[in-house]
Amino acid sequence: MSFWLVLTVNSVTFGGLLFLLSAGFSLIFGLMRIPNLTHGSLFMVGAYVGATFVVGMLGFALNFWLAAILATLTVAALGALAERLLLRRLPGDQLAQVLVTLGLSFMAADFCLMVWGGDPLSVATPDSLTGFVRFGTVVFPAYRLAIIALAVVVAIGLWLLLDRTRLGAMIRAGVDDPDMARVVGIRVSQLFTIVFALGAGLAAFAGITGGPILSVYPGLDQDMLPLALVVVILGGSGSLLGSFVGSIIVGFIYNFGQALLPELAYFVLFMPMLLVLLLRPQGLFGRHVP
Amino acid sequence: MSALTVNNLCKSFGGLHVTTNVNLNVEPGERRLIIGPNGAGKTTLFNLITGEITPDSGSIHLFGDDITKTPSRRRPHLGMARTYQIITLFPRDSIIHNVSLALLGLSPARWNPITDMKRQGNLIERGLAALERVGLADIAERPLAQTSYGERRRVEIAMALAQNPKLLLLDEPFAGLSIDERQDVQKCLMAIPRDVTMVMIEHNMDVALEFAERITLLHFGEVIVEGNRAEVVDNPRTREVYLGH
Amino acid sequence: MSARLIALGIVFVALLTLPYWMFGVYYVNVASQILFYAIFALGLNVLVGYGGLVSLGHAGLFGISAYATGYMLQLGYGHPTAILVALIMGLASMVIYAVLSLRSTGIGFIMITLALGEILWGLAYRWISVTGGDNGINVPSRPTLLGSSMSNATTFYYTTLLVFLISVGLMWVFVRSPFGAALRGTRDQPRRMNALGYHVWAIRFWACMFSGLLTAVSGILFVYYTQFISPQTLSLTSSAEVLLMVISGGPGTLLGPFVGAGLVVVVKNVVSAFIERWNFLLGAIFVAIVILMPEGLVPGTARLWRSLWRKRAHAVTPPAAKTEASS
């Protein structure tokens, strides 16, 4: 019984991480129509930068959450830079976008390898959350619950941003009809930079938050990117609810798949995505067909 | 036998009825004008006739044949040609290549992966002839990207004419043209012989009224008024539709 | 225009005589690699450059032909049989790929092909009885062609060169043909093409089959070159790499794939000996290409050449004639 419970908790936790990762990707793709193939790299760089501060590689160790915030801001800034200097020159040129995002991911991966080496970095769980939480007879690791809580908080925060703020309204308008949005006077290019930075920051936050669970290693980017893609396809691009539901679904499929059917792990993950693409190309909650 | 018969055609998107019980009967050789305020469903009607959208109910007959279920890619082969409101040409290619593509679409040669396209002498010849009819034969080799808007409109018409259609659908062929350009396009259209039936959507009343023999007025997807020029212009419902009272 | 022909002529002669002037067997082998990867990229370019369909799963098809060859040889069949089966398997797989992925266009197509590639990769890992899983399949020998064994680097090189030249020839014919024009039409204005009477899905399907043929051929050459096939070859990274070859070289050009393949293979195999951070360098080169020549190396270089030529013409022309020199 406990086996299933553990698996379930891990699935929801992983789903929470995936949500933090893919919400950004979904927004970027939904608004800017850019398949941001650096998203896995942003996750990984965020994890490495955060780990650096947590472990104290620069001579001083920071509180986990402070480190996470620093990592998030750093990567968000890098994302904004990449958008302004590179992606902005390529509106609509999908092939060039693929080339530049993949090129950047090559550079990021090798850079991380050079700076942090080939051995995995383990990130210690923050002190306050190393224990367990007891619900009656069942015991959960506190950190995993914390991640779930964080994901929910961020989800609510993003929802409020999109639904209640002017910025959010502009983003939604841009997702639904970018040409019309421009005509109405929305500063689409500024919006793009903000959204890209937001997406990048979220990915980085996911990376460092996931550090204690997944650790940080070369190749983390290539492991996470396909998962983000699956989530966005399943859930539908540009939809927050879609990212949330999609993340939970993928979290379950991934964990249960690994545990019960390791031989078919990839089938179990990509078959649902394939089916969705074939039967309902806009995903569960997507607004337009990609 | 009529050239085009549309019977009780209906189409809705979600809850929005874009075409409601439209009946249309165009005689061979006729010059029919379809007018109506923005959002009247004129282009949608064209899209239904060409098959790009499937109707919810109703039928479409082309020279007596029921084409309601015919896929849109087959309809050009049955003699239907169309120009678009928004120019959708092939910008990377020359004018003559654009027209050749239109010709190739109807030829079995389009499946040929072996011989040189440029050597399909027939295609080039006929393409140039079509360009001649719109007065663009001398700039046939020019890349489309280097042509003016008016010239591109004429290329559109050349492409449609090159298909030797029996029914030609023109969606706002005068949109965005200068006065001179309008005259050029008008000349082309007036010169089209009577074995081509023409149906035109247009907003620009000066040129359109000159062209039209019969006019159909659409509003909110329904046919409001139909008749010859005088009948439609004098009809009080026409003024109602355009001026709201 | 004739500058182009001269350049092509030089490259052709260089390729023809390569084993005689190249510094050592290692580099002859690098040249062979460039050539069969170029065939792979040519195949992908049919879809990406001429069809407007970006596939992120082509390594899966490449791998199927490689695995089929290895598996048939393992079962004890001779080279001709193995190659034939590999070609058939490659084409059959492409039929499935095409039918599934052509349900979508744009990003949907990219995602479906990615999913298919990942599924095939997973299959290669898990179907151990057939693929040997992580251990892969070893190919103990290369075939003999006209009495000369392809174990000899020079023989292998010339065989690959021959297949490459035939592939380029096929592409050249294809691109000039009416079908090629139709395919490009569906890339630029699919809706319009439908309205002009073309069967857009069918055109794309047959383009996929042509792509599948070239991909299968390159997969077979690959497995004979490395004499080994493992799941890594079908990974997303591999699919991304060949896509990058196409895009960096210049999609929709005949020689772009060759240049792109050359870039990636040379950096991976030659530059890597001198520069440890060659992955970073490769990424940086891609980014530089996007900034300086977003249309790709081949069209970009042609553009640069033309503008240099024009500047030269302006500089040489006396002022009176300048008004005529503008183009």
Q: What is the pLDDT of residues A8-67, one digit of tens each?
A: 889 999 999 999 999 989 888 888 888 888 999 999 999 999 999 888 777 777 888 888
What is the domain range of residue A34? 2-279
The residue with greater pLDDT, B109 or C258, is: C258
For residue A289, list chain C residues with Cβ-Cβ distance below 8 A: 104, 108
CB atoms within 10 A of CB A126: 18
- Kindly report the backbone phi and psi dihedral angles of residue B113, in degrees, each rounded to the nearest multiple of 5, phi listed first: -95, 10
What is the H or E stretch that residue C205 is in?
Answer: helix C200-226
Q: How many residues does chain C have?
A: 327
Contact C290 A111 (CB under 8 A): no
Contact C290 A103 (CB under 8 A): yes
Average pLDDT, chain A: 86
Domain identity same for B74 and B170: yes
Look at residue C184 in the predicted model and tell me its pLDDT.
95
Query: What crossing angle do the helices spanning C297-316 and C236-249 adopt, rounded to 10°?
Result: 20
- E strands, B14-103, are 16-26, 31-35, 57-62, 65-66, 80-83
Asked if C171 is an interface residue toward chain B (Cβ–Cβ < 8 A), one would say no
Contact B52 C194 (CB under 8 A): yes
What is the domain range of residue B42? 1-79+165-245
Look at residue C322 in the predicted model and tell me its pLDDT.
45
B153 to B83, B99, B212: CA distances (angstroms): 9, 12, 20
Max CA-CA distance within chain A? Answer: 59
Chain A residue with minimum CA distance to C115: A270
Is the pLDDT at C17 greater than 80? The verdict is yes
- Give every residue of chain B whose pLDDT is below 50, as ranges: none
pLDDT tens readout for residues B187-237? 888 889 999 999 999 877 777 778 888 999 988 888 888 888 888 888 888
Chain B residue with minimum CA distance to C184: B90
Asked if B47 is an interface residue toward chain C (Cβ–Cβ < 8 A), one would say no
Chain B residue with minimum CA distance to C173: B114
Asked if C292 is an interface residue toward chain A (Cβ–Cβ < 8 A), one would say no
pLDDT tens readout for residues C18-37? 888 888 899 999 999 999 99
pLDDT tens readout for residues A161-188? 888 888 888 888 877 777 777 777 777 7
Q: Domain end: B108, B137, B164, which one?
A: B164
Look at residue B203 in the predicted model and tell me its pLDDT.
79
Which residues, in sequence order, are CB contacts of A29 under 8 Å at separation 6+? A35, A36, A232, A237, A238, A290, C107
The CATH number for A7's domain is 1.10.3470
The number of domains in chain B is 2
From CA C44, how far away is CA C214, in angstroms rounded?
A: 8
Is the pLDDT at C55 greater than 70? The verdict is yes
Is the pLDDT at A121 greater than 80? The verdict is yes
Look at residue C158 in the predicted model and tell me its pLDDT.
93
The number of domains in chain A is 1
Q: Please state the domain extents for chain C.
A: 27-235
Averaged pLDDT, A254-261: 85
Chain C residue with minimum CA distance to A267: C119
**Residue B138 exposed, middle or buried by CB count within 10 Å (0-12, 13-18, 19+):** exposed
Domain identity same for B62 and B175: yes
Which residues, in sequence order, are CB contacts of B26 under 8 Å at separation 6+? B2, B3, B4, B5, B32, B167, B197, B199, B214
Which residue do the tokens 């078959």 mark? A271
pLDDT tens readout for residues A212-244? 999 899 989 988 998 998 898 888 877 888 889
Look at residue C321 in the predicted model and tell me its pLDDT.
47
- Kindly report the backbone phi and psi dihedral angles of residue B12, in degrees, each rounded to the nearest multiple of 5, phi listed first: -130, 150
Is the pLDDT at C7 greater than 60? The verdict is yes
For residue C182, list chain B residues with Cβ-Cβ distance below 8 A: 101, 104-105, 110
Asked if residue A242 is part of any domain, the answer here is: yes
Chains contacting chain A through 3 or more C-beta pairs under 8 A: C
Asked if residue A288 is part of any domain, the answer here is: no
Q: Domain end: B115, B139, B164, which one?
A: B164
Check if the beta carbon of residue B36 is closer than 8 Å to that of residue B219.
yes
How many angstroms away from the CA of A210 is the closest CA of chain C?
Answer: 23
Domain identity same for B169 and B61: yes
Chain B residue with minimum CA distance to C195: B73
Asked if residue A146 is part of any domain, the answer here is: yes
How many angstroms away from the CA of C223 is the closest CA of chain B?
Answer: 29
Asked if C251 is an interface residue toward chain A (Cβ–Cβ < 8 A), one would say yes
Asked if C194 is an interface residue toward chain B (Cβ–Cβ < 8 A), one would say yes
**CB nearest to C189's CB, from B77, B90, B113:** B90
How many angstroms away from the CA of C189 is the closest CA of chain B?
Answer: 7
Look at residue C317 in the predicted model and tell me its pLDDT.
59
Q: Domain end: B111, B139, B164, which one?
A: B164
Asked if residue A284 is part of any domain, the answer here is: no
Is the pLDDT at C325 greater than 50? The verdict is no
Chain A residue with minimum CA distance to C114: A226
Asked if C96 is an interface residue toward chain A (Cβ–Cβ < 8 A), one would say no
Tokens of C100: 């599934």
DSSP state letter for B151: H
* Nearest by Cα to B19 from B30, B31, B11: B11
Contact C119 A266 (CB under 8 A): yes
Asked if B84 is an interface residue toward chain C (Cβ–Cβ < 8 A), one would say yes
Asked if B126 is an interface residue toward chain C (Cβ–Cβ < 8 A), one would say no
Is the pLDDT at A201 greater than 50? The verdict is yes
Query: What crossing angle do the helices spanning C58-74 and C200-226 adopt, rounded to 10°?
Result: 50
Residues B184-193: contacts with CB under 8 Å, at least 24 apart: B184/B134, B184/B135, B184/B150, B184/B154, B185/B150, B185/B153, B185/B154, B185/B157, B186/B210, B186/B211, B187/B135, B188/B133, B188/B134, B188/B135, B188/B154, B188/B157, B189/B157, B191/B133, B192/B161, B192/B168
Q: Please report, rounded to a whole number, the percentage of residues in chain C having pLDDT higher than 90.
A: 66
Check if the beta carbon of residue C177 is closer than 8 Å to that of residue B114.
yes
Chain C residue with minimum CA distance to B77: C197
**CB nearest to B117's CB, from C177, C191, C196:** C177
**CB nearest to C178's CB, from B102, B110, B159:** B110
pLDDT tens readout for residues A99-115? 999 999 999 999 999 99
Domain identity same for B113 and B158: yes
Chains A, B in contact, 3 or more Cβ pairs below 8 Å: no
From CA C61, how far away is CA B79, in angstroms rounded?
A: 42
Look at residue A29 in the predicted model and tell me its pLDDT.
85
Partners of B170 in the β-ladder: B83, B200
Q: How many residues does chain B have?
A: 245
Asked if residue A286 is part of any domain, the answer here is: no
The residue with greater pLDDT, A6 or C95, is: C95
How many angstroms away from the CA of C144 is the closest CA of chain B?
Answer: 32
For residue B73, list chain C residues with Cβ-Cβ distance below 8 A: 194-195, 197-200
Is the pLDDT at C327 greater than 70? The verdict is no
Check if the beta carbon of residue C59 is closer than 8 Å to that of residue C43.
no
Query: What distance lies between CA B220 and its chain's CA centroid?
Result: 21
For residue C103, list chain A residues with Cβ-Cβ distance below 8 A: 277-278, 281
Query: What distance lies between CA B127 and its chain's CA centroid?
Result: 19
From CA A244, how far away is CA A239, in angstroms rounded?
A: 9
Look at residue B183 in the predicted model and tell me its pLDDT.
86
pLDDT tens readout for residues C223-243? 999 999 999 999 888 999 999
Strands C148-149 and A138-141 come out as: unpaired
From CA C133, how far away is CA C121, in angstroms rounded?
A: 10
Is the pLDDT at C95 greater than 90? The verdict is yes
Domain identity same for B126 and B241: no
Chain B residue with minimum CA distance to C197: B73
Look at residue C260 in the predicted model and tell me its pLDDT.
96
Q: Which of residues 169-228 of C touch A (CB under 8 A)?
A: none
Q: How many residues does chain A have?
A: 290
Asked if C47 is an interface residue toward chain A (Cβ–Cβ < 8 A), one would say no
Asked if residue B84 is part of any domain, the answer here is: no
Domain identity same for B143 and B128: yes
What's the predicted TM-score (pTM) here? 0.90
Asked which of B241-245, C274-278, C304-308, C309-313 is least confident by mean pLDDT, the reply is: B241-245
Max CA-CA distance within chain C? Answer: 79
Contact A222 C237 (CB under 8 A): yes
